[in-house]
Amino acid sequence: MTTEIKKVPIPRRGVDYRGKVVLAPMVRSGELPSRLLALHYGADLVWGPETIDKAMIGTTRKVHDATNTIVWTRKPSQGAKQPPPDAPENIIFQIHPEKEGRQLIFQMGTANPELAVEAAKLVAADVAGIDVNAGCPKPFSVHCGMGAALLQTPDLLCSILEALVKNIASEYEIGISVKIRILDTPAQTEALVRRLVATGITGLTVHCRTTPMRPRERAIRGQLRMVADICHEAGVACVMNGDVEDREQASQLMEEFGVDGAMIATCAEKNSSCFRSQADGGLAPWREVVEQYLRYAMEVENKFGNTKFLLCQLIPGKQPAYKNISPCKSYTKVCELLDFPHLVDQARKVDESLDIDPETGPKKNKDAQKKANMTALAAGGKKAEYRQQAKRPLSERGVTVQTEDKAQSQLPEGLAIPA
């Protein structure tokens, strides 16, 4: 006799995490073109990068016809000062509704139920789920009690999830989920998970590391089956995270530990074709992945700085191309140096749209820096004196250029100048 597995009802517009291999939420590495790349290679769902509730509140939702995307923008923060009327708006979040809308989970950084609901209402109609970050240990996430700090305040974490379930799940018909880390002891993890699955969530992702642990330390899976069993008792889907390398390994781990899904982070950052099964070709060559990424980045007019950062993750460090793109300041130069001549015309158009000079980079930044330098020089003082001095040769400024051997000898023991 087979026992039927209990399942929390999935809202009409929500998604079931069971049987899914998904892209983890990653700051910078989880922006729109990276998510599209993961979906291209077979990811079942994608998490957006953690977005702080206060950053979303006050944004304006806009449809960008040229890229078929939706963006949430706001004026840059100036502290107590009002930003100038002509200040450009920052893009806080961007999605491609046609290509990812029904597979996109919005992850939120929050430590306040009211703010969480207010921020979620801005995006809930455009995504397939809202996920609360209660697992990131980095300072930008845990400050003000967010991220992994919520593991130490379970009452607050539960109140946030309950508020989202009550005010978002029913009205927008999407699921609410949470991502956590394991605690120091199985008893502590069990107590926390039992409280979380009782809040009405449809999914729980457990990162198999404690808060102090970093990616270089191997994931701890000893508590994983216990977490999965507790989730299943409540009908909640359980997704595992931590040292999952590809789709084949994900399937093996799901079967071994009884979890419902698996989340890939670091390996997806290096080569998103890790989501592709061996039957579909397995891991693709890096040039193929880089070309596809560039196509998506230019299609959605991704910020060049973010694109360049991701290229440095996708191109193996030992490849000559890795060093070649370091001085690049435009899509045009990247496509030329990577020898993608068929993409150069598109790159020029994107550079023009983003106001980027192919040789010198973003025009606005250059003009602003030039204006700031002129203002400082006109004002006089030590900064102006330093800048004027900086124009003179090094030898005239009392600067001695060290040889590599001498510089190496002055480093603390155990450190070396990179080759």
The tens digit of pLDDT for each residue in 297-312 reads 999 999 999 999 999 9
The pLDDT mean for the chain works out to 88
Give the model's confidence band at 149: pLDDT under 50 very low, under 70 low, under 90 confident, else very high: very high
Mean per-residue pLDDT for 107-118?
Answer: 98
Residue 10 has a pLDDT of 94
Residue 20 has a pLDDT of 98
The tens digit of pLDDT for each residue in 351-374 reads 999 999 999 999 875 555 554 444
Residue 366 has a pLDDT of 54
Q: Which residues pair with 206 in a beta bridge?
A: 180, 240
Residue 200 has a pLDDT of 97
Residue 400 has a pLDDT of 42
CB 259 within 8 A of CB 253: yes
The tens digit of pLDDT for each residue in 23-38 reads 999 999 999 999 999 9
Model's pTM, two decimal places? Answer: 0.85
Residue 412 has a pLDDT of 41
CATH of domain 21-280: 3.20.20.70
Farthest-apart Cα atoms in the chain, separation: 88
Interior angle at CA 47, CA 74 and CA 113, nearest 5 = 60
**Could you tell me the residue ranges of all domains in the chain?**
21-280, 286-359
Residue % of the chain over a pLDDT of 70: 84
Write out the catalytic residue numbers.
136
- How far apart, in Å, are the Cα atoms of 156 and each of 3, 121, 196? 35, 20, 11
Residue 143 has a pLDDT of 83
Residue 252 has a pLDDT of 97
